[in-house]
């Protein structure tokens, strides 16, 4: 910063020397001190202590520079109301800053702050505080003294919990804790009567906080957590709520009390485990946006979901009357088996948790097979030895329970996105089909342990498998795989069995020897020269040792 900027209140401006005809009333530079200084988006690495020569400053903006520290003289700017030091490289804040008793807005986001001074609560007039995108692991308890704070942004830090004292901020309207490591929210938060917007997205919450006193709360964002249960207690006091965002959680059901939220305009339940909805949702008078994609809804057809909110609400309203006659939404079970269910083994479904339709040479799986499942949790699906050209789309209805799927000996040429939603899948058998690749969306199958892809048409090792960390067994024999990436394989730290027999491997990378978890490595029937057959015959340990010895040093 040029020196004359700091001295602007002290030195006479140049033009005063050139024109001496100014009357006393026109000599503004003698009457007015500098009140705003904007030095944003430069390359400043430090600020001079001379900043104290500008005691009248009300606004100082140095955002988007390369500051690693702030001068302690800042604490002398007793008229300062707004300080923006965001987008710098600050690792700490000087204690002197806590003397700025008139400060209303303090922007510290996008720095490298690991902690805050204990005296933070002295900034009693603060109305806006942005600490997002730092490295904070905790918050000083003196925050409780910031009773005039209206907006507090703590997003993208490393907070594991919030201090209960935060509830003393009685003016707080907006609290953003997105993208931290919060597992719970202090129950005291429930008493924050002024709160209007609460952002808790991308944390580790297992349940939604109960907020009985938050009568003014208009927006609650809690997507991308691990919430499993939505209780009536969570909802019944939120009379003002207009936005409820709960996408990407593990919610299994929506309580009827959701209809108490009469002001609700947006409800996002995308990608949860919801199988049925209260039809009375259709009666919410203000609802303009309802998102339900990625749920195993039994009662709502997928094409209906794509027609938009209004059609969906109309459908839900039309079902309210039916709901009264059949409270569970399930057809009544009679002593007689219906003719359409005669080829369905109900005993297998209810007792063995098995849905089987194999060796039928069928081109499609009949709908009545899926209809018969109703609410029974099916663990195993066997549709092998048919003429299926695609994976049956309705398989997604089983995603809450199915762990073992056999689609072997069919004519399937691609893996569908529905299969990628079976998040409990541990065993997948798709041998003897026409597959040439696997979609990246399979990365969602976090629990998959065993996959059988033998006798397909893969020309390369499917890259998505490298990201499935739970995989223990990969069977890829009798394909046309030409290469493998040993560095990626090494990251698969549970991999014990890898079968690549009868493929087109021209060489075996020596680094494969570093895959220490491998107990069974099968490579026979490939065109590579080394390791020779004699070494292969000695077994996996010998092959891995041989490969390690070939790694260039």
Per residue in 466-516, pLDDT (tens digit) is: 999 899 999 999 999 999 999 999 999 899 999 999 999 999 999 999 998
Question: Is 449 or 165 the better-scoring residue by pLDDT?
Answer: 449
Grade residue 27 by pLDDT with cuts at 50, 70 and 90: low
Region of residue 502 (phi > 0: left; psi between -120 and 50: alpha; otherwise: beta): left
Token duo for residue 181:
């490591």
The answer to whether the beta carbons of residues 172 and 195 sit under 8 Å apart is yes
SS3 459: coil
Work out the burial of residue 335: count CB atoms within 10 Å of its CB; fewer than 13 is exposed, 13-18 middle, 19 or more buried: exposed
pLDDT of residue 279: 86
CA–CA separation, 125 and 102 (whole Å): 6
CB 173 within 8 A of CB 152: no
**Computed from CA positions of residues 115, 117, 118, 119, in that sequence, does the dihedral angle turn out positive or negative?**
negative
Residue 16 binned pLDDT confidence (cut-offs 50, 70, 90): low
User: Look-up: residue for tokens 């609650």?
Assistant: 220
Residues shown for the chain: 553
Cα 60 to chain centroid, rounded = 36
Give the integer Cα–Cα distance in Å for 506 and 37.
Answer: 68
In this prediction, residue 326 has a pLDDT band, given cuts at 50, 70 and 90, of very low
Contacts of 357 (CB under 8 A, 6+ apart): 365, 366, 369, 382, 383, 386
First to last CA, the chain: 53
Q: Write the burial class of residue 194 (CB in 10 Å: 0-12 exposed, 13-18 middle, 19+ buried).
A: middle
What pLDDT, on the 0 to 100 scale, is given for residue 338? 38
Q: Which of 275-279, 451-455, 480-484, 545-549 has the lowest mean pLDDT?
A: 275-279
**What is the structure's pLDDT at 335?**
32
**Which pLDDT band holds residue 553 (cuts at 50, 70, 90)?**
confident
pLDDT in tens, 362-371: 999 999 888 8
pLDDT at 269 over 50: yes
Percent of the chain with pLDDT over 90: 65
For the domain spanning 346-549, the CATH number is 3.80.10.10
- Answer yes or no: is pLDDT of 523 > 80: yes
The mean per-residue pLDDT over the stretch 257-263 comes to 89
Q: Give per-residue pLDDT as tens, 364-405.
A: 999 988 888 888 889 999 999 999 999 999 999 999 999 999
Report how far residue 119's alpha carbon sits from residue 106's, in angstroms, rounded to the nearest whole number: 15
Instruction: Identify the burial level of 516 via C-beta atoms within 10 angstroms of its C-beta, where 0-12 means exposed, 13-18 middle and 19 or more buried.
Output: exposed
Contact (CB, 8 A) for 194 and 216: yes
Average pLDDT, the chain: 88
- Residue 325 confidence (pLDDT) above 70: no
Residue 336 has pLDDT above 60, yes or no: no
Q: Which residues contact 253 (CB under 8 A, 6 or more apart)?
A: 230, 274, 275, 276
Residue 26 has pLDDT above 80, yes or no: no
Whether the pLDDT of residue 223 is over 70: the answer is: yes
Q: Is the pLDDT of residue 250 over 70?
A: yes
**Among 263-267, 282-286, 298-302, 527-531, the range of highest mean pLDDT:** 263-267
Contact between residue 8 and residue 33 where contact means Cβ atoms under 8 Å apart: no
Residues 163-171: contacts with CB under 8 Å, at least 24 apart: 163/138, 163/139, 164/188, 165/141, 166/139, 167/191, 167/192, 168/144, 169/143, 169/144, 170/194, 171/127, 171/147
What average pLDDT does range 61-87 have in this prediction?
96
113 pLDDT above the threshold of 70: yes
Pairwise pLDDT comparison (549 vs 9), residue with the higher score: 549
pLDDT at 333 over 70: no
Average pLDDT over residues 64-77: 96
């Amino acid at each position: 910063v040029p020196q004359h900027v700091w001295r602007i209140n002290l030195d006479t401006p140049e033009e005063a020397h050139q024109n001496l005809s100014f009357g006393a009333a026109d000599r503004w530079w003698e009457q007015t001190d500098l009140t705003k200084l904007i030095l944003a988006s430069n390359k400043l690495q430090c600020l001079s202590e001379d900043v104290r020569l500008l005691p009248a400053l009300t606004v100082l903006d140095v955002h988007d520079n390369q500051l690693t520290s702030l001068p302690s003289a800042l604490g002398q700017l007793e008229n300062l109301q707004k300080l923006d030091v965001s987008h710098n490289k600050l690792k700490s804040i000087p204690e002197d800053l806590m003397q700025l008793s008139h400060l209303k807005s303090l922007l510290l986001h996008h720095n490298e702050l690991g902690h805050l001074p204990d005296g933070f609560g002295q900034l009693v007039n603060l109305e806006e505080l942005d600490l997002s995108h730092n490295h904070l692991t905790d918050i000083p308890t003196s925050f409780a003294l910031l009773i005039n704070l209206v907006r507090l942004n703590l997003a993208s830090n490393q907070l594991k919990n919030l201090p209960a004292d935060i509830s003393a901020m009685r003016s707080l309207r907006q609290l953003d804790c997105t993208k931290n490591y919060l597992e719970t929210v202090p129950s005291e938060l429930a008493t924050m009567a002024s709160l209007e917007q609460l952002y808790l997205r991308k944390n580790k919450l297992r349940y939604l906080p109960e907020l009985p006193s938050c009568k003014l709360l208009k927006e609650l964002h809690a997507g991308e957590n691990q919430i499993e249960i939505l209780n009536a207690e969570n909802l019944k006091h939120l009379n003002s709520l207009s936005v409820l965002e709960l996408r990407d959680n593990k919610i299994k059901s929506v309580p009827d009390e959701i209809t108490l939220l009469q002001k609700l305009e947006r409800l996002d339940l995308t990608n949860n485990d919801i199988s049925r909805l209260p039809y009375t949702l259709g009666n919410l008078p203000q609802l303009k946006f309802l998102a339900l994609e990625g749920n195993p809804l039994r009662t709502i057809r997928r094409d209906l979901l794509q027609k938009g909110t209004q059609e969906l609400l109309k459908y839900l309203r039309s079902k309210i009357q039916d709901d009264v006659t059949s409270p569970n939404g399930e057809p009544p079970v009679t002593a007689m088996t219906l003719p359409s269910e005669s080829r369905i083994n109900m005993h297998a479904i209810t007792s063995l948790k098995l849905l089987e339709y194999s060796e039928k040479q069928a081109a499609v799986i009949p709908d009545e097979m899926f209809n018969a499942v109703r609410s029974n949790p099916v663990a195993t699906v066997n549709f092998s030895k048919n003429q299926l050209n695609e994976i049956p789309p309705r398989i997604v209805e089983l995603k809450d329970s199915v762990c073992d799927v056999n689609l072997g000996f069919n004519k399937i040429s691609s893996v569908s996105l529905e299969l990628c939603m079976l998040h409990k899948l541990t065993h997948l058998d798709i041998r003897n089909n026409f597959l040439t690749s696997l979609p990246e969306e399979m990365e969602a199958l976090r629990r998959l342990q065993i996959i059988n892809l033998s006798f397909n048409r893969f020309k390369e090792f499917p890259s998505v498998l490298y990201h499935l960390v739970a995989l223990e067994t990969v069977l890829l024999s009798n394909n046309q795989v030409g290469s493998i990436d040993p560095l990626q394989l090494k990251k698969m730290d549970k991999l014990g069995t890898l079968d690549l027999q009868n493929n087109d491997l021209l060489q075996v990378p020596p680094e494969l020897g570093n895959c220490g978890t491998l107990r069974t490595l099968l490579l026979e029937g490939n065109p590579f020269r080394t390791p020779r057959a004699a070494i292969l015959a000695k077994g996996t340990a010998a092959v891995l040792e041989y490969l390690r010895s070939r790694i260039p040093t």
